[in-house]
Amino acid sequence: MNRMSQISVLIKQTAYQAGFELAGIAPVRDFSELNHFPDWIDAGHAGEMKYLEARDAAGQLKRASLRSIAPWARSVIVCAINYNTPHPYSTRINDPERGWISRYAWSREDYHEAVMRRLRVVENRLRDMVGARGQDALVTAGETPALQTRCYVDTGPLVERVYAKYAGVGWIGKNTCILNQKLGSWLFLGVILTSLELDPDLPAPDRCGTCTRCIDACPTDALIASYQLDSNKCIAYLTIEKRDAIPEEMRAGMGRHVFGCDICQDVCPWNRKAPTTAADEFEAREGLVNPALNWLAEISAEEFREKFRGSPIRRAKRTGLRRNAAIAMGNSGDPHLIPVLEKLAADDDPVVAEAARWGLEQLSTPSPPMSESSVRNS
């Protein structure tokens, strides 16, 4: 076994010791999946997420080719950690007075920090191994011997799931999430770019087969085809990234989701027996599993700061969370929430007030009984 092979093995062992369940190595290539990214952007499927449109000096989309932002990178170390907790899936909950926060956002610590802390352990170990083995281990034709690394947790200008596939961590499902045969899809990804040309793993085979449960279950038809997502229709995008008012035609499909959405993962057969996390920091904070809608709608600025300190929920901002709660109330069919909506309709925040007025209209308009599928997805 040569030195690069030894380092490749040891670095994955270090990842497991740091708390990751999965680790693999992908080469830096212009993979076929990345060729679709410019078309996806051009079609407007990124919505208002302008950061996805970042370009290099030549005008090329950064996320379409890792070479454009890290020409020195030769390998990508991909690590994954399970965040699933033993709480019911959203598709099994039907309490009209309570909303749904996506499973990943329940955690006691922001996942960016929890994953990055573990990535740094792996990165430091890599540097130690290279130093112990001598810089000659890095010398290959045409390359300088200086080791370069860079860590990202859902923040870098690259499409992590593509590299996760080619690192053998999992395949990209029809819902566009990474799926692992043993762990399902409740995974946080972290990546380390390195100038080392490590031994790559084999890409994970696609095991979705003919299943279309995720596509069929999406209440807003955001999965416009297998492996294709239109963010403008995605509940996660609408409740987290969308600023100002949410288009009225999308509101009914949002059900009682107030931050993110798990439906396309909840219905996935590979998640039926998904194990739960061993990481304490991913256990749910008190009050975030099926939170009371009236609490979220009337949350003060101070309580919002305190309750969601170090939480990804802060990304929606207080305005967005209250707006989402008002829409969820309108979708609840519960007249007991009318007094709260009436109060919100006079709120100083125009976005919240408009959503509340919409909610009042829904609750004052008789609607037909919900079908079994509507109840399941609300």
Residue 71 CB neighbours (<10 A):
10
CA–CA separation, 207 vs 345, rounded Å?
Answer: 48
Burial of 358 (C-beta count, 10 Å sphere; 0-12/13-18/19+) = buried
Chain position carrying tokens 């995974």:
187
User: What does the DSSP 8-state code read for residue 142?
Assistant: T
Core vs surface per residue 73-99: b (16+ CB within 10 A) or e: bbbbbbbbbbbbbebebbbebeebbbb
* Rg value, the chain, Cα: 22
Core vs surface per residue 326-335: b (16+ CB within 10 A) or e: bbbbbbbeee
CA–CA separation, 280 vs 108, rounded Å?
Answer: 8
Bridge partner list, 81: 188
The H-assigned helical ranges of the chain are: 3-17, 37-42, 111-133, 160-166, 213-217, 235-236, 248-251, 263-266, 293-297, 301-307, 317-332, 338-344, 350-364, 372-377
Catalytic residue among 30, 56, 154, 206: 154
Residue 29 CB neighbours (<10 A):
15
Phi, psi of 314 (to 5 degrees): -60, -20
CA–CA separation, 183 vs 179, rounded Å?
Answer: 8
Active site residue 280: no
CA atoms within 13 A on the CB side of 103: 21
Longest dimension (CA), the chain: 75
Active site residues: 154
